[in-house]
Structure 1
Amino acid sequence: MNTGDASYIKQMNRGILLEEIIKNVSLSRSDLARKTGLNKATVSAQVRDFLNENIVNEKSEGELTTRGRKPILLEINADAGYSIGIDIDEHFLKIFFTDLQGKPFYKMNLPVQNYKLDDVTNQLIQNISTQIEKFNQIYKPIGLIGVGIGIHGIVNKDQEIIFTPKQQWSNINIKDRLEVAFKTNVHIDNNANLSVFAEQVYSEHIPDLFCVTLYSGIGLGIINGNKIYQGHQGFAGEIGHMIIDPKGLACSCGNTGCWELYASEKVLISKLKGNLSVGTLSDNFEKLLGKEENKEIVDEYLDYLAVGLNNIINIFNPEKVILNGMIINGNTPFISEVQEKLKSKMNNYREITSSRLGENSCALGGAALAIKNYLGLNMINYVEYDYLSNLDEIPGQ
């Protein structure tokens, strides 16, 4: 075996062991060897490296009722470092800080002060740099390990922003500037890609998963074989611009009859707000649905939603599809109604559900991806940590 082969095998074993520790929250060395099939000498050597790098720490299992030596458990060293995930949307910047175990500990929700990307970038740097200085003193010795950023538009494989329909940003690279400002690696991707990654990491860890985001436009994130599918140049998932009516409404992309002009929640909200007199949409949603004219509006919306889902299912045959939107997440009967409209005998899938992460998915996915990249893993699994029930209690601004 040459040096290159040995180095490759060592790196592969490193990933296998770290993925298993993360998945199981904590493990003894013997359990780690048993679950991975690696011999104890290999496990011991790798664990020694993990401890030296401060990415893993040891703890006692506690008092045992039987005699004998207490097993020493290994777990990811949560306090050694942290990551940041950012969702750059049209009106808000949603930001999550997560420790090395993927647990969110701080969040920020900032209104966008100016739509120019240079100004948005300045706003990010000004607001986050102060927090980085503070948290670098708390999460030692590693500090900030990386930043993951979601853009609501097309991002190529070189992480350049090719086009955003809302802000009209085109052919811009902010990665280098942010890496200089934050002094760490920055990864930029489409928001739907980060959303589906977060769903897999935090909600249900399966290798074949689709997430359709429905807020202001429609995006599709695809996990295939535990990897984010990006297509030839990174443009995959722009499903909102699938044409469902060739002679339909004109779209900013240049086509007519794009799916998101009929089935995004922005479209549904704009129609419902015509009958909304007081309060917010969420406060009055059930009342609005009780009106006969609104039932027709919603039924038409679900018809269009089902048309697009029918196409996605027939083309990709996904195991599970997650629908993520402000309205759909709080109205699970919509899921049943959509499924009833999927009448084709060619439709084949295991499950369609609403998202448990909601509007937090993109930023959480960015933070989790930064951890995955830093540790050099193929996949990461936080399902057993049950972080989702406490997202509303996380401090922030």
Structure 2
Amino acid sequence: MNTGDANYIKQLNRRILIEEIIKSRSLSRSDLARITGLNKATVSAQVSELIAEKIVIEKKEGESVTRGRKPILLELNANGAFSIGIDIVEDYINIIFMDLKGEAFHSVRVALEDADLECAVDQLIETVTPLIKKFAKNYQPNGLAGICVGIHGIVNAKEEIIFTPKQRWSNINIKDRLEAALQTTVYVDNNANLSVFAEQVFDEAIPDLFCITLYSGIGLGIMNENKIYRGYQGFAGEIGHMVVESKGLPCSCGNTGCWELYASERALMNALEKDRPAASEQEILDALHDGEGAAQIIDSYLDYLAVGINNIINIFNPEKIILNGTIINGNSPFITEIEHKLKSKINNYRDIRASRLGEYSCALGGAAFVIKNFFDVNKIDYTGYEYFLSIYDV
């Protein structure tokens, strides 16, 4: 065996062990060898390196069930590094700070002072710089592992922002500027991609998963065999610009009759606002459960939503679809109604449900994506940790 082959096998074994330690939360060396199928000598050597790098720590089990020595358990060192996930929305920025065990320990929401991207980046740098300095000393030896920024628009394979339909940002590179200003690795991705990644990491550990985000527009994130499906040059998932009315409403993308003009939650709110021009946003949301006029608007909205979901199911045959939006997450009857509208005999899927991660999914996915790359693994599974909802309290 040459040196190249030996290094490849060593790296492969390291990935296998880290993935299992993440998934199992806490386990002994012998358990790790048994589960992974690697011999004990390999496990011992690799674990020693991970401990030396302060990626893994040892803990004694609290109580021994038999006589003799208590087993030494292995866990991730939560404080070995931290990551930041960022979601740049139309008028605000969500920011999540996460430790190596996938727990969000700090969150910030910043109202954007200007719609210009350069101003948004300035504001972002100004916000996170003192926080990075504050937390870095507590997360050693690696400090900040990196940052991932979610964009509500098209991001190409070079991580450049090609176009955002709402703000009309086009052909912009913020990656280089952020890396220079913050002195760390920066990733830039589409928000729906990061949302579906978060759903898999924290709540649905299945290799193939779909997530449809419904907030101001509509995006589709696809996990295919544990990888984000990006298509040719990274443009995959712009499902909101699928045409559902050939001579319909004009869209900022250049087409007419795009799905998101009829089935995004912004489209539903616009329709309800027309019906109640003097109402507040809360009164409009309350109208979702009251009044015949609202019922007709909602039924039309769900018709359009079902049309697009029907197309997605027939094209991709997904196992599970997660719908994520401010309104849909709190209205499970909407999902029941959508399923009733999926009448085709060739519709085939296992489940459609609302997101449990909600509006923080993109930022959570971004922070988790950094950790995945920090560990250099194929998959991270935090579903057994069951604390993702604590983000609403940090």
TM over 0.5, shorter chain: yes
What is the rounded CA distance, in whole Å, between the counterparts of 1:177 and 1:47 in structure 2? 37
Q: Which amino acid in the other structure matches residue 342 of structure 1? A: L
Q: Which amino acid in the other structure matches residue 69 of structure 1? A: R
Q: Where do 5+ consecutive residues of structure 2 fail to align?
A: none
Q: CA deviation at 1:288?
A: 4.1
Q: What does the per-residue CA deviation read over 1:353-385, in whole Å, with 9 as the maximum and x for residues that have no partner?
A: 000011000000000000000110101000000
Checking the alignment, whether the CA contact within 8 Å between 2:273 and 2:279 is kept in structure 1 is no
Aligned to 1:139: 139
Aligned to 1:164: 164
Q: Where do 5+ consecutive residues of structure 1 fail to align?
A: none
Helix, strand or coil at the partner of 2:212: strand
Aligned to 1:377: 377
Q: CA deviation at 1:391?
A: 2.1
2:207 corresponds to 1:207: yes
Q: What does the per-residue CA deviation read over 1:23-48, in whole Å, with 9 as the maximum and x for residues that have no partner?
A: 01111000000000000011011101
**TM-score computed with the length of structure 2 as normaliser:** 0.98
Number of residue equivalences? 393
**For 1:121-132, what aligned pairs fall within 5 Å after superposition?**
121-132=121-132
**For 1:234-249, what aligned pairs fall within 5 Å after superposition?**
234-249=234-249
What is the rounded CA distance, in whole Å, between the counterparts of 1:255 and 1:280 in structure 2? 29
Aligned to 2:86: 86
Q: Runs of at least 4 residues of structure 1 off by over 6 A?
A: none
Q: What does the per-residue CA deviation read over 1:157-209, in whole Å, with 9 as the maximum and x for residues that have no partner?
A: 11011111111111111111111222111111000000000000001110010
What is the rounded CA distance, in whole Å, between the counterparts of 1:287 and 1:262 in structure 2? 18
Q: CA deviation at 1:222?
A: 0.1
Aligned to 1:52: 52
2:388 corresponds to 1:388: yes
2:152 corresponds to 1:184: no
**For 1:24-39, what aligned pairs fall within 5 Å after superposition?**
24-39=24-39
Q: CA deviation at 1:286?
A: 4.4
- What is the RMSD of the two structures over their aligned residues, measured on CA atoms? 1.1
Helix, strand or coil at the partner of 1:384: coil
Aligned to 2:344: 344
Q: CA deviation at 1:392?
A: 1.7
Q: CA deviation at 1:277?
A: 5.1
Q: What does the per-residue CA deviation read over 1:334-354, in whole Å, with 9 as the maximum and x for residues that have no partner?
A: 000000000011100000000
Deviates more, 1:78-87 or 1:175-184: 175-184
Helix, strand or coil at the partner of 1:373: helix
Aligned to 1:273: 273
What is the rounded CA distance, in whole Å, between the counterparts of 2:90 and 2:327 in structure 1? 19
Aligned to 1:10: 10
Q: Which amino acid in the other structure matches residue 7 of structure 1? A: N
What is the rounded CA distance, in whole Å, between the counterparts of 1:121 and 1:24 in structure 2? 38
Percent identity over paired residues: 63
2:179 corresponds to 1:151: no
Helix, strand or coil at the partner of 1:49: helix
Aligned to 1:257: 257
**TM-score computed with the length of structure 1 as normaliser:** 0.97
Q: Which amino acid in the other structure matches residue 292 of structure 1? A: E
Q: CA deviation at 1:279?
A: 5.2
Q: What does the per-residue CA deviation read over 1:294-346, in whole Å, with 9 as the maximum and x for residues that have no partner?
A: 10000000000000000000000000000000000000010000000000111
